[in-house]
Amino acid sequence: MPQTRRQFTRRFGRRRAVILAPLVIAMLVLPALTLAMRSRLPAQAALSADPDDRLSWPILNAVTAAWLLVGTVALAAWLHRHRLSPVGVRWPAPFTWAAGAAACVRSLSLVTGNLDDARPQAFHPAWWAHPAAIAAIAAVSGAVGWVLAGGDPDLPTATVRPGPEAPRITLAPHQRTAWCRSVVSHRTFAVAGVLAGLGLLGVFTMPGIAGVLTVILAALLASHATVTVRIDQRGVTLAQSIPRRALITVPFHHIEHATAASSPAGLPRGAYGVVADGRVFGYRSRASGPALRLTLSGGRECVFTVEDPETAAALINTRLDDLPVPGSTRGASC
């Protein structure tokens, strides 16, 4: 049965809660621990092996909560903007779970390392709070977050088909035809390179796992810089060139019609790779140029910057003519 807007919104709301929960929990852990253990904690917390590296607990709580609150609010606003997009809102989950777990371990380590010490001289974290252990905990937590976020919600089934003015190609009866183009986003490669440099700098100059997470993010981003757009018997697929993993899959029964456009209008400006902005999502490899535009059910659109979108659009519309759709009107103008 077609998925209603309410079902789509409910599933997205669950994913949003999964993404934001670790940051909210991490925001509350340190104040809760300091409140529960206040009788056993010194006035100032030792933060590192340097005896002079100290900070009062109220200030430490305020700074930690402020940073996490800013991140939570910014991410919540971003998720709200993309609440109607069927793709692109799962990837924050592993990072929020990894960051939340690392922050919770750090908070627990600070409190346990300062217990019953009236004059803290130096902070010596437990074995489970060393960078390698935190990295392992964050990796496992990130994997859990990815699983809990769930797959991208399905689009409703399309109830209209291409009108007579839509481009088509002539195919022989039972002819099987495929279309494939490779796409490279040089700007995505450039951004990945900058992130990798910053991450490596952070690995050698900053404590914690921020640098490691940045390097991992750079590697993931680089893997999105070279993709393949393919049209086969099942629908339209955008997949990474290495590894062969589908990033966007649009089955034919979700498509109303396809057109070739002169520019990727609708995709967010300044964003490259797999992008989403409200009801419009897709892949941008360049600022302008030809693009394949798919009008989908539920008022959504999928846009790919790709060469020869005219042939791709004609092939898609031809395939759509062969699909029966309950309640559709053949030849209706879109």
The residue that leads in pLDDT, 292 or 203, is 292
Q: What is the mean pLDDT of residues 245-266?
A: 89
Q: Where on the phi/psi map is residue 100: left (φ > 0), alpha (ψ -120 to 50), or beta?
A: alpha
Q: What is the mean pLDDT of residues 103-115?
A: 87
Q: Which helix (H) or strand (E) holds 333?
A: none
Q: Is residue 87 within 8 Å of residue 281, measured between CB atoms? A: yes
Tens digit of each residue's pLDDT (9 = 90 or more) over 144-199: 999 998 876 667 788 888 888 888 888 877 777 889 999 998 888 888 898 888 88
Least confident of 27-36, 256-265, 271-280: 271-280
CA distance 234 to 14: 29
Q: What is the mean pLDDT of residues 3-11?
A: 60
Instruction: Report pLDDT for 2.
Output: 43
Instruction: Report pLDDT for 287.
Output: 86
Q: Is the pLDDT of residue 315 over 80?
A: yes
Q: Is the pLDDT of residue 202 over 90?
A: no
Q: Is residue 315 within 8 Å of residue 231, measured between CB atoms? A: yes
- Biggest CA–CA distance in the chain, Å, is 86
Share of the chain above pLDDT 70, in %: 86
Share of the chain above pLDDT 90, in %: 24
Q: What is the mean pLDDT of residues 110-125?
A: 69
117: confidence class by pLDDT, cuts 50, 70, 90: low
50: confidence class by pLDDT, cuts 50, 70, 90: low
**Model pTM?**
0.66
Tens digit of each residue's pLDDT (9 = 90 or more) over 64-93: 888 888 888 888 887 877 766 666 678 889
Instruction: Report pLDDT for 92.
Output: 87
Mean pLDDT, rounded, of the chain = 82
Query: DSSP assignment of 47-112, as one string?
Result: -SSSTT-EEEHHHHHHHHHHHHHHHHHHHHHHHHHTTT-SSSSSTHHHHHHHHHHHHHHHHHHHHH
Instruction: Report pLDDT for 141.
Output: 94
Instruction: Report pLDDT for 264.
Output: 85
Q: What is the mean pLDDT of residues 301-323?
A: 91
